[in-house]
Chain A
C-alpha cells in the first residue's frame, strides 16, 4: 500500500508487551469501578487505589515507550484489535487501539501528569467529604482520555471524547452547593455539545464518502475525496476541537470551569483534556495536509484565540481565571502551530507537552496558595506570600518563567519555535500570524507578571484584611509534602523539558512516523532574530507590569476601612482601576470590550439560542391544550398534510 502524504507508516499488529495495551484503559477504569461500587467502605484506602492504578498505568506506559524506542521507525506504529464493537454490514466499527509515537506521547503525558495530580489531590482533597468519589471521577477521566488518544479510529476517539466530557462535567460540578459550579458544569457540557456535533458530522461524512472511520483506512484513502468534502471535514473537525479546547468562539466555558477543584483544573482544564483539540488536528494531519484553506481557518482561529485569551487575562482578578485564560491563549498557540501544517505539527505537540508541565505546575501552585489562604481566589486579597510559601513560590516562579518564554526554560523552546514557524508562512500571512504570536508573548509576560506581583510579591494585603470573606482568619502556610512533591516534579519539567525535547529535534524525530518529518521554514525573520525579539518583547511586558504594579506598594487601605474587609477590597479595586486607566487606558478598554463581548456576545449567542428554543417551546406548548377535539384536529391536519404532500409529489 502506498504510504499517504504524511509519511505515516503502516500499522503492524501489536505483539509482545504492546498486546497488553488494553491494560492502560482497564487499570484506571477498574479503579473507578471499585471506588464507585465500594461506597463508604473505600473511604480509607480509596485515594490510594486511585493513585496506584494511575501510577501502574504510567509504569506500563513507560515500559511500552522504551520498548517502542528500541524498535526501528517502521515498526513503531502498531494496532491492537480488541473486539468488534458495532458490526453492521458495511459499517464495521472495531474497538482497537493504535500505538504509535503520537499516542504514546500522550499516554505518557496523561498518566505522568495524572499520577502527579492524583498524589497532589490526596493532600488537597484531604478535608473533602467523598474524596473517594473524586478519585473515582479522576480515574474515569484518565481512562476516557486514554481511550481518546489510543483509539484507532474516529468513532473510538468520539467515544473517549464524550467520556472525558462527562468526567469533566462531573468534576466541574464537584462543589454541588455552589450555584456557579452548577451553571459552569452545564455551560461546559452544552458548549461541548456544539463542538461534538461538528465532530459527529465530520465522522458521518467520512463514513459516507469512504465507508470507514479507522485512521489507517481514512488516511490511506482520503485523497479520493473531493476538495469540498475535505474542506468540510477539516472545518467540522475544527469545530469539535474548538469546543473541547476552548477556542474562539466556544472559549467561554473554560474560565467558568475553574469552579471545579484545582487539581481538576490542572489535569483536565490545563494539561490534558483541553488539548484534545490539538491532538485531533495533529492526528488528522493527512486530511489537513490536503486542504490549505482548512489549515488557514485553523490558523486564524488559533491566532484570534491566543490574542483574546491574553487580553482578557489582563483583566481578571481571580487567580484561576487568569490562568484559565492563559490556557485558552496557549492552546491558541498550539492550534496555530498545527494549522501551519507539516512545519508545525510537531511544534504544536511540543508546546502541548511543555505547557502540560508548566501550566499544571502553575495550577497546582495556585491550588497550594488557595489551600493555604482559606480557598481565597481573589488575587487582590493576597500579596507577599512568597515568604510564607517558599516552595510554592519557587516552583510557581519556575513555571512562570517557562510560560513567558525566558530561556532556557521549556516554554522558550516550544513557543519560540511556533513564532518562528508562523513567520515562515509566505506573504502577508507570515507577518500577520508571526506578529500576533509575538504580541501574544508580550501580553503573556505582562499579565503573568501582574499575577506574580499581586500574589507573591509586594505588601501582604491580606494582613490588613485579616479574615477571608467567610470570616476565617488568614494563616498562610506551606502545603503538605503530598502537594509539594508534584509541584517540584512539574517544576523540574518546566525547566528542563523544553531543552530536552528540542535538543537534536528529539521529539520531532520521535513523532515522525505519525506526523511526517518536521519541515524547516525560512521566513522573513530568521530563528535567531525571532528568539531575540520574542524574549525582548517578553521582557518589555515584564517591565511594564513591574512599573504598573510593582514599583510602589499597592495603595494601602485607609484606616477607616480596615474593619470592613469587603469595602476595603473594593477600594483596592478602585485604586487599581484608576491606576490602569491612567497608564494603560487603551489596553483596558480593549480588554473590557473583549470581556463584554465574551460575556454578552458569545454567551448571549448561547443563551439567546436557548431562549429562542425555550420561548418557542413555551408558545408551542400552548397547543397542547388537553382537549381531545384539538388533538384530533391536529391529527387530521397532519393527515391532510401527509396526504397532500404524497399526492403532490406523485402528480407534480
Chain B
C-alpha cells in the first residue's frame, strides 16, 4: 500500500461565521485585552480596557442582532463546527442575556468612584499583611487584568450554553471557571478572605470538574460518542449497560449542579460570594447562573429527555433539597452577602424545577427567570457595594440597621429588589416564579410546586427581616455611610431595578422571545 502518493485532504468543518461572530468578537477582544496589559503603561490601562470592553459589548451585541435579525425567515437555528456548537433560539436568548448581564457586571467592575481606585487590589501577588501590602493599600491603581479575565469567562459561558457535545462543554466550563477562580481573589479590602474564597472555589471547582469529566467518560463508554444527539440516540436503543448511562448522567449532572450552586452542591456559594470582590460576586451570581442553567437545560432536554422517567425523581429531590437549604439557612445569616448567597441557592432550586419540566413552557419559563433574576441580582450587589464604612463594605446586617433614615432612596431601591427576590407581584420575580411554577404544574410536578411555594414563603421572611431592619431600627451611631455612586454603578443599579420593574409589569415581550423555539441538535 502506498499512501505517500495520494494525499487526501481532510475536509475542514463548515463554519457559520456570522452565527458564532459574537463569541469570536468576545474572545478576540480578550486577546487584544491581554496585549493591552502587556504593552500599555500602567496609567493608561484602565481607560483603554474600559473602552475596549465597551466596544466589545457593542460589537458582539451588534453581531448578534444582525444574525438574529437576518435569520427571521429561516428555521429555528443551526449547528456549526461539525455540530459542536448550536446557535438556536434558546442560545440566542441566553447570549443576549449573558451580554446584557455581563455589561452590567462590567459597569460595576469598572467603577472607581465607590472605592477609590476600584474594588480590585493594585497588585494581587503581594502577600497580605506585609509592608508592601500596606504600601499598596494607599495606591489607587488596580489590577486591570480583571477585564480580559471577565471577557474570557464570558466567552466561556457563551460557548457553554451553545455546546452541543460534552467535550466542547467541558472546555467551555474550564474557560469560564479558571478566570473566575482568579477574579475571586482580587479584592482590595479583606484580602485574606478574598484569597481564601479563591482557593476554596478553585479546589471545589476542580473537584466538580472531575465529576463532570468522569461522567463524560462513562457516557462516552455508553454511547460511543460525546455528542448530545448521539447520546440521545443511544438511549433509544442500545445493548450497553444502563449502569454506564445513569452513573455517567449522575456524575455529569453533579458537575453542572455545582456550577449552578444547587444544594447540596452549594457549599462553596456563601463563602465565595462573601469573600469575592462584590462586582465579581455580581458577575458570578448573575452570569454563571445563566450559563450553568443554560447548559443544564440543553443537556437534560437534548440528551436525556427519553430517560426522564428514571432521573426526574432524583432531580426532584435535589430541587427540594436546594430550596429547603436556601430558605432555611438563609434565615440565620448575619451577613448580607451570605444571605443573598443562600437566596441564590433557593432560586437555583426554583430554576431546577423549570429545567426538569422538559416542556416548551418549562424552557421559556426558565429562560425568562434567568433573565429576570440576573438583572435583580446585579442591582442587589450594586447596592451592597455602596454601603461602606472605613474598612470597606459594611456587609454585616446589624450595620444596615436604620439605613432608610440615612439614605431613603437606597433603602427604597433595595427594598424593591428584595421584594423581587421574594416574588411579590409588580416585580419580575413574581412573573418568573409564576411561569416556572405554571410550567411545572402542567407537567405533573404539582407537589414540587407546593414545596416551592412554601420555600418562597419561608424565604420571604429573611428578605423582610432586612427591610424591617432598614426601616424600623435605629441607626447605629458609628454605622456605615452610603457612598454616592459614580455613573457606572448608578447605571448598573438603575438598569437592574428598572428591568426588574418592566419585566414585572410588561413581561410579554421577553416571554414571547424566550418561547420562540426549542433546542436544535
Contacts and interface: CB of A to CB of B under 8 A. Distances in A.
Binding partners A and B: yes
Interface of A: 83-91, 93, 155, 158-159, 162-163, 166, 173, 176, 179, 181-182, 185-186, 189-190, 193-194, 196-197, 200-201, 204-205, 207-208, 211, 610, 613-614, 616-618, 620-621, 624, 626, 628, 630-632, 634-635, 637-639, 641-643, 645-647, 649-651
A176 B254 contact: no
7 contacts: A86-B431, A87-B508, A630-B267, A632-B207, A639-B250, A643-B247, A646-B310
Contacts of B253: 642
B332 A617 contact: yes
A84 B508 contact: yes
Contact of B515 (A89, A613, A617): A89
Contacts of A89: 359-361, 364, 515
Contact of B506 (A83, A208, A621): A83
Contacts of B190: none
Given A631-B200, A631-B267, A635-B254, A87 B360 contact: no
B328 A616 contact: yes
Interface of B: 199-200, 203-204, 207-208, 211, 242-243, 246-247, 249-251, 253-254, 258, 264-265, 267-268, 270-271, 310-311, 313-314, 317-318, 325, 328-333, 359-361, 364-365, 404, 419, 424-426, 430-431, 434-435, 437-439, 441-442, 446, 449-450, 453-454, 457-458, 460-461, 464, 468, 471-473, 506-508, 511-512, 514-515
Given A93-B434, A628-B204, A646-B314, 17 more contacts: A86-B435, A87-B511, A89-B360, A179-B472, A201-B449, A617-B332, A621-B329, A621-B332, A624-B270, A624-B271, A630-B267, A635-B254, A635-B267, A638-B254, A639-B265, A647-B246, A651-B242
Given A85-B507, A86-B507, A638 B265 contact: yes
A251 B159 CA distance: 54
Contacts of A88: 361, 364-365, 435, 438-439, 511, 514-515
Contacts of A635: 204, 207-208, 254, 258, 264-265, 267
Contacts of B264: 634-635, 637-638, 641
B508 A642 contact: no
Contact of A650 (B310, B404, B464): B310
A155 B426 CA distance: 12
A91 B508 contact: no
Nearest 8 CB-CB pairings of A with B = A182-B472, A631-B267, A638-B264, A643-B250, A617-B331, A617-B332, A159-B425, A162-B425
A91 B361 contact: yes
Contacts of B332: 614, 617-618, 621
Contact of A631 (B204, B317, B460, B464): B204
A152 to B, nearest CB: 16
A196 B460 CA distance: 12
Contacts of A186: 464, 468
Contacts of B331: 613-614, 617
Nearest to B331: A617
A551 to B, nearest CB: 45
A640 B435 CA distance: 32
B424 to A, nearest CB: 5
Contacts of A613: 328, 331, 458, 461
A624 B265 CA distance: 12
Given A186-B464, A632-B203, A166 B360 contact: no
A236 to B, nearest CB: 11
A189 B431 CA distance: 20
* Majority SS at the chain A contact face: helix
Contacts of A173: 468, 471-472
A650 B246 contact: yes
Given A87-B511, A204-B449, A208-B446, A631 B268 contact: yes
A639 B424 contact: no
Nearest to A204: B441
B200 A645 contact: no
Contacts of B268: 631
Given A642-B314, A649-B311, A86 B426 contact: no
A624 B251 contact: no
A628 B365 CA distance: 35
A155 B450 CA distance: 17
Contacts of B458: 613
Q: Name the residue among A179, A205, A610, A634 with the largest chain B CB count within 10 angstroms.
A: A634
B271 A626 contact: yes
Nearest to B469: A182
Nearest to B471: A176
B267 A649 contact: no
B254 A181 contact: no
A201 B329 contact: no
B461 A190 contact: yes
Contacts of A650: 242-243, 246, 310
Contacts of B472: 173, 176, 179, 181-182, 185
A96 to B, nearest CB: 13
B329 A624 contact: yes
A163 B328 contact: no
Contacts of A207: 438, 441-442
Contacts of A646: 246-247, 249-250, 310-311, 314
Contacts of B506: 83, 85
Contacts of A645: 313-314, 317
A133 to B, nearest CB: 9
A10 to B, nearest CB: 26
Contacts of A200: 453
A553 to B, nearest CB: 42
A357 B11 CA distance: 85
Nearest to B330: A617
A55 B333 CA distance: 46
Contacts of A204: 437-438, 441, 446, 449
A182 B438 contact: no
Given A207-B441, A628-B199, A86 B508 contact: yes
Nearest to B405: A176
Contacts of A85: 506-508
A158 to B, nearest CB: 7
Residue of B200, B246, B271, B361 with most partner-chain A CB within 10 A: B246
Could you say which of B242, B258, B325, B511 has the most chain A C-beta atoms within 10 Å of its C-beta?
B511
Given A88-B365, A91-B361, A197 B425 contact: no
B242 A86 contact: no
Contact of A649 (B314, B359, B426, B511): B314
A49 to B, nearest CB: 20
A631 B268 CA distance: 7
B358 to A, nearest CB: 13
Nearest to A624: B270
Contacts of B460: 189-190, 193
Task: Indicate the member of A85, A197, A617, A639 with the most B CB atoms within 10 Å.
Answer: A639
Contacts of B473: 182
B29 to A, nearest CB: 34
Contacts of A196: 457
Contacts of A634: 264, 267
Contacts of A194: 457
A641 B318 CA distance: 10
A201 B450 CA distance: 7
A606 to B, nearest CB: 11
B142 to A, nearest CB: 28
A507 to B, nearest CB: 31
A642 B316 CA distance: 11
Nearest to B465: A186
A185 B468 contact: yes
B77 to A, nearest CB: 19
A181 to B, nearest CB: 7
A166 B508 contact: no
A639 B251 contact: yes
B197 to A, nearest CB: 11
A283 to B, nearest CB: 18
A87 B516 CA distance: 12
